A and B are shown apart, each in its own frame.
Chain A
Amino acid sequence: MRRDRWALPAVVAVMLATTAGCSATDSQSSSPPTLPGHDRVDLNPETGQITLPVDRFFISESDYETVLNAHALAVSQCAAEQNVEIPYRPVIPEIGGSRLFGVWVESFAAQWGYAQPESPEKSAALERNMDPNYALSDRQLAAAEDCSEDPDVSQFTYGGSLPEQVAVELGSSNREALASDAANQVFDDWEQCLNEHGLRRDLTDGPYGILGATLDVTEANIHLALTDVGCKDEVNFVPRLAQIVADAQAGILDEHAADLEQMGIQTDELVSKAREYLTANT
């Protein structure tokens, strides 16, 4: 087992086996023991990162940014050899964290309400994204495509290798977990708190909506978001739901541990290679 995957992270590792009110754990009491880490959830309430057990074997969002940068640099260098200029532009980091269970980070809610947090650099990039003139030209695209066969470039291509049937099993498991009595209790607790603060859920477009909330950054939306996040904190909403899903994943991960470990090793190697390449070439 690789040390970096299972070492205690700097982030808050939330283990809810002993958390009062988490009936999912009770319901799993007769389940066989799981392999280390296969039921572990890592939450970072500062950055908003949520890492469920299976996520640990896939590439993280920040590591994927590193791989994208290495790929972009390799393409730029390969294209230059064909006398085609493709400027190297590194990825602008995302700062919004995960909304797997809706908005949950207090500092984001206080500044952005329900809107996606974004840096000024990203705001500018979003403007460019709508500009066809900013896209690669046909000549540049042709060069990039040619270069995709170049081993220096293709080495920085990422794709999970977990058998897709296992992913389907995990998806079903996730959905069943979130529809379980234990999960419903978590939603009920959150809703009760919302109601006590004068808020109502809006189930029109998913389970995490709040009636009257929009993504405009206004005082009213910030107030709603802060109340929403406060209620989630009060009832331990995200940790409990995450653990319910994690417990449901554990058995599947146990069964496919070899596939997952192999994928994790490949991912680590790719990220290390990307870091080294960027260090050596920038």
Chain B
Amino acid sequence: MRLRKRLAVALALVLGAGVFAPTAAFGYGIGECGTGQACTFIYDNYGGAWTAIYGGVNNYGNIALNPLRVSYANDTANSVAAYGSSCRLRYYEHASQSGNYLYFDKPGDPAATIRDPALSNGGGVYVNAESRTDWRDRISSHLWVNCV
């Protein structure tokens, strides 16, 4: 069963987004994101291929998508999570942490906005106007901030 799910995700990657959209029900999902990691998923509801990163990311163009690791994550995220142990997270629209950003708390924070299942209407804490615009397929880097 697990193998079939993997093959399904692989097929989705090969065919590309829009042909069909696997969700977390495919077998991967938010459970792939561990404490201390920033995670992106190519479909809504934490579905499809993903990244799970401990440190910063200067360019998602250099980060391979799991599980196949044959394509890259730049401008692919449609849902995200941030599980920092001591830091909050900004997802940026351009490489090298430039351009506009979305801001996510860490677990235990006020209202703890630590993930967003659909970036089509933005996401994260409402700290800037841009964070309520369409962020599908827009994330290119991230930065851990406001650490304790």
Instruction: Please list the residues of chain A having a beta carbon within 8 angstroms of any beta carbon in chain B.
Output: 54-55, 58-59, 64-65, 68, 71-72, 75, 86, 89-92, 94, 99-103, 114, 116, 122, 125-126, 128-136, 140-141, 144-145, 148, 153-154, 156-162, 164, 166-168, 170-172, 174, 204-209, 214-215
Contacts and interface: CB of A to CB of B under 8 A. Distances in A.
Given A100-B98, A160-B129, A205-B59, A71 B87 contact: no
Contacts, number: 170
Contacts of B131: 167
Given A68-B146, A114-B96, A170-B129, A205 B74 contact: yes
A116 B146 contact: no
A164 to B, nearest CB: 4
A159 B125 contact: yes
Contact of A205 (B109, B140, B144, B147): B140
A158 B98 contact: no
Interface of B: 34-36, 54-56, 58-59, 61, 74, 83-87, 92-100, 107-112, 121-122, 125-134, 140-141, 143-148
Contact of A156 (B110, B146, B148): B110
A129 B98 contact: no
B85 A131 contact: yes
Given A126-B144, A160-B126, A141 B133 contact: no
B108 A136 contact: yes
A25 to B, nearest CB: 22
A132 B37 CA distance: 10
Contacts of B54: 129-130
Given A58-B129, A167-B132, A208-B98, 13 more contacts: A64-B127, A89-B86, A99-B92, A128-B147, A130-B54, A130-B85, A144-B112, A159-B111, A162-B126, A164-B122, A167-B129, A172-B133, A204-B95
Contacts of A136: 107-108
Contacts of B134: 168, 171
Looking at B74, B128, B134, the one whose CB has the most chain A CB atoms below 10 A away is B128
A162 to B, nearest CB: 6
Contacts of B92: 99
A124 to B, nearest CB: 9
Given A135-B35, A215-B58, A206 B145 contact: no
A209 B148 contact: no
Contacts of B83: 135
Contacts of A167: 122, 129-133
B145 A94 contact: yes
A20 to B, nearest CB: 27
